[in-house]
Amino acid sequence: MNIMDYYLWIVVFHIMAVLSWMAMLFYQPRLYVYHTEHKNKPDFVEVVKIQEYKMYKYIGLPAMWATVISGLWMLFLRPELLQDDIWMYAKILVVIVLMVYSFSLEYYRVQLERDNYSKSGNFFRAYNEVPTVLSLLIVGYVITKTFSFVFTFITLAIGAFVIYRVIKQIPKEA
């Protein structure tokens, strides 16, 4: 047997890693909302800090690196994926943006852990929508195996509108 016989198992591992990483990307900002909006309840905040730490360090970060490594492994085994169309390059670019987003969650986690933060629950509610928009782009590129400026623009525009509506719907904090 050669390594290509295991390619589909690498794909399975990649998909599971992506699901785990996305779970953290979707839930971590929600923990930050709870943290900031209940700052006057120190016992509650201490529990949330533990959840934030474990979610990021034990689930999100390893899953992100497993996603990247398995994705690179798939590209190594099937370099023709980089020659089909620019969709793979667009996907890689969005994955890099998701990685930056992921690292930004760690930045905010550390600020919250040190009780040295200025962002509000409203900010984190809106920030929570970013991975949804980016994952829509990735899934669209992967399923259609094409890159479309129209699809990309419409997805980003709808995402920006949703984030704007989230911000506008939430009453201002005192």
What pLDDT, on the 0 to 100 scale, is given for residue 59? Answer: 97
Long-range CB pairs of 108-111 (<8 Å, 24+ gap) are 108/32, 109/28, 109/32, 109/52, 109/53, 109/56
Burial status of residue 174 (CB atoms within 10 A of its CB: 0-12, 13-18, 19 or more): exposed
Query: Do 147 and 85 meet the contact criterion of CB atoms below 8 Å apart?
Result: yes
Give the pLDDT of residue 2.
80
pTM reported for the whole predicted model:
0.89
* Residue 91 counted as an annotated binding residue: yes
The reply to whether 38 sits in an annotated binding site is no
Regions of the chain where pLDDT drops below 70: 170-174
Closest by CA position to 65, among listed 26, 21, 25: 21
Closest CA to 22 of 53, 55, 60, 58: 60
3-state secondary structure of 114: coil
Q: Give residue limits of the domains in the chain.
A: 3-169
- Token duo for residue 133: 């928009």
Per-residue model confidence as pLDDT tens digits over 29-60: 999 999 999 999 999 999 999 999 999 999 99
User: Which of 85, 100, 74 minimizes the C-alpha distance to 17?
Assistant: 74
Among 118, 129, 138, residue whose Cα is nearest residue 158: 129
Number of CB atoms found within 10 A of residue 134's CB? 20
Across 30-53, b (16+ Cβ under 10 Å) vs e yields ebbbbbbeeeeeeeebeebbeebe
Q: What is the pLDDT of residue 174?
A: 42
